[in-house]
Amino acid sequence: MPNSGKRAVWIVLDGVGLEALPDAKLYGDEEAATLPHVAMACGGLNLPNLQRLGLGSLAEITGVPPLAAPCGAYGRLAERSAGKDSIVGHWELSGVVVDKPFATYPQGFPDELVD
């Protein structure tokens, strides 16, 4: 098959959320909005490449206003899977939806797992 020259670039900023998901109350994350909060705390961000791709159209981010005509296709996603961890999110990006959440360790990993 000949190379068409068309490419897709998928950028995943792991842990850089734009807002809380509907299940955030289950994890104490009701106010989650990592990127907007960092931008606010820093007095604004300068992310010209992500802005050109459409980041400013996804959320109110200090220093990253929306553009009238971004050059990229952009979107925001919400997990369908149960749970709150990067692995579940990465699996879902690959098409695997998980019904039962994986174990998390908010107080750190148990000694028997580390030893």
65 and 90 part of one domain: no
Range of the domain at 88: 79-115
54-104: pLDDT as tens digits: 999 999 999 999 999 999 888 888 888 887 778 888 899 889 999 998 887
What type of residue sits at position 29?
D
User: Within 13 Å, how many C-alpha atoms sit on residue 5's CB side?
Assistant: 0
71 and 25 part of one domain: yes
40 and 65 part of one domain: yes
What type of residue sits at position 44?
G
- pLDDT for the residue numbered 1: 64
Dihedral, 77, 80, 86, 92 alpha carbons, nearest 10: -90
18 and 74 part of one domain: yes
11 and 27 part of one domain: yes
19 and 64 part of one domain: yes
Q: Is the model's pTM score more than 0.85?
A: no
> How much is the average pLDDT of 17-35?
89
23 and 63 part of one domain: yes
- pLDDT for the residue numbered 107: 85
34 and 74 part of one domain: yes
Q: For the chain, what is the domain count?
A: 2
